[in-house]
Structure 1
Amino acid sequence: MKTATPDQPLSREEETSQTKNGFLVLASRLLLEEKLPIRFMYKTVPEHLNDTGWRMYTGYETDEFLENELINMMPVPLERICQLDPSLTPLVEYNAGTVWERIPDSEGWERVHDFRIPAPKVDVDITNDVDHFSQQREGS
């Protein structure tokens, strides 16, 4: 797999050749309930077969809002999102690791290279204590 360098960036074809799967994005509740435009989005590795990996935001979400993902992020068909905002159609073809931003009153989208995509939170309890391990297995 070819990687981009400052001298040799990847071509559009190389940046959109990832195997496609899934049909859902996770979109901020503010996009649908408040009818605010998408101004920030990134693609992470899909978490399940229906997931495209795209996460879409208005830019008005607070840290507290983002912490409660189960309530504030909604699964929405990618096709519906692209119907609401056709400027997304060419962007959603890009591979995982891609980040886009649209500044208010600007023309179009800009690629972001300095945003660190958050990793999914996984609650794992690791122990080397045999008794604790046995209690965990009995409790599940």
Structure 2
Amino acid sequence: MKFFKKKKNKEEDNFNDFPPIGGLMVSKMVVDKNIKPGFLYREKRTRPEDSGWRIFTGFESPEYNDDPENIGIYNPSTILKIDPSLKDILLKGVGSVYEREKDDSEWYKVTDFELEDDYMTTHRLTEDWTIEINNLFERTIEEDGTLYYTTGDKSIRLIIWNSEKNKEELYEEQKQDIENRDQTKSKTLDKFEFSDNKASRIGYIIEENNERKTYFVLFGFSIIDKEVIQSAFYFDEKADFDWALNTWKNIKLLPSSLK
């Protein structure tokens, strides 16, 4: 599995083509005093036009941050012109926390900073199924009825469909589809099965790309009699494979369905 290297854009120095992620809440020390950021995190956004990013120099006092006059909302291009090193970080998803020691130091991921919305929650999918997922994921329903969860750099699409077939028939159908899928556009990198006597679970992983990036997709099928949950887990970094696999396993049958 290889990640691609993004091609340079002629206008990237101006950052005019930077993706429209929303506004950034930034300490005015960054803008007014031209002090480069030293700490930033992305929380669950409060409104559609909010990116969720909160950016600080690291020199602010609690009293300074508590004064709304000291915080401004800026376009990404404004902050990137001050500090271009944030270009890739600003595309990281909700829940990301980064820090650096000096202006010329490398950014590193912070793992012990607590975000208010960072906890696991259980959502009911059908009469039979639930999913356990981090509350940082935003949940929407697309026009075609697909259930969509995303943090920005990790996403899940869930489609629930019914059938008159039993579990064994549905399992064999999905197994044959996976075995016979067209490999010309994207090769199957690996296949998975986590079936038990209550539900069948079968899936596979591929690598895809668009104009901006290469990413992975784990497709998982959770099957019982007359019902299939088709799930697709999208993630940019290979390190997030465990997240995708565990979240698929967290699509579980309700106890009442196991009787």
- Structures share fold, TM-score greater than 0.5: yes
> Which residue pairs with 2:36 in the alignment?
37
Larger fraction in helix = 1
State the structure with bigger RCO (CA 8 A, min sep 6), 1 or 2.
Answer: 1
> 8 Å contact 1:42–1:54 — kept in the other structure?
yes
> 8 Å contact 1:21–1:50 — kept in the other structure?
no
1:1-140 to structure 2, matched below 5 A, reads 22-68=21-67, 70-104=68-102, 107-118=105-116
**Which runs of no fewer than 5 residues in structure 2 stay unpaired?**
4-18, 118-259
Q: How big is each residue's C-alpha offset from its partner over 1:104-132, in whole Å with a ceiling of 9 and x where there is no partner?
A: 2653101100011356xxxxxxxxxxxxx
TM-score calculated relative to the size of structure 2:
0.36
Larger fraction in strand = 2
**Equivalent position amino acid for 2:105 in 1:** E
State the identity as a percent: 26
> Which residue pairs with 1:134 in the alignment?
none
In structure 1, how many angstroms separate the alpha carbons of the residues matched to 2:116 and 2:59? 18
**Which runs of no fewer than 5 residues in structure 1 stay unpaired?**
1-11, 13-19, 120-140
Matched length:
102
In structure 2, how many angstroms separate the alpha carbons of the residues matched to 1:62 and 1:94? 26
TM-score calculated relative to the size of structure 1:
0.65
Q: Secondary structure at the match of 1:71?
A: helix
User: RMSD of the TM alignment (CA)?
Assistant: 2.3
Q: How big is each residue's C-alpha offset from its partner over 1:33-62, in whole Å with a ceiling of 9 and x where there is no partner?
A: 111110000000111111110000000100
> Which residue pairs with 1:4 in the alignment?
none
